[in-house]
Structure 1
Amino acid sequence: MYTKEESMDYHRRRPEILEALANGNGFDVRYSDTLKDQRAYYAKVLKIFDGTEYIIRTSLNYESDW
């Protein structure tokens, strides 16, 4: 089991997260060992009214028929 800090540190190294931190949003396509399929990942930095920044991240099966 991961602590919150360990879990966040692990995801912080993901390509879409690094790109979002540098440019505001990021995208990557790669194989997911967890879900066992090809995924498209998107991340965006969201800044709320008090200046706090969050990273929103989502993924979609890249092999699906959209």
Structure 2
Amino acid sequence: MDDLDKVKTILIVALVVLMGLSIYAHWHVATHPDYGMTTVKTGDVTWACLTDHGTTIGCDTVEEYK
């Protein structure tokens, strides 16, 4: 195997690894959301709720954040 073939092999392996990491990163982001904010309206009060991976951490009225 000459030097050019070695370089081609290394580049192909690097490309495959990067593609695999890209696919994994997209899957991870799509299936593992981090912190988020949702709003919930109960009667005339609107609540802002902080969530972590879909679990509500806590809520407070929107008016208190103004």
Could you tell me the TM-score, scaled by structure 1's length?
Answer: 0.37
Q: Name which one, 1 or 2, has greater alpha-carbon Rg.
A: 2
Could you tell me the TM-score, scaled by structure 2's length?
Answer: 0.37
Greater RCO, 1 or 2 (C-alpha within 8 Å, sep 6+): 1
Greater share of strand residues, 1 or 2?
1
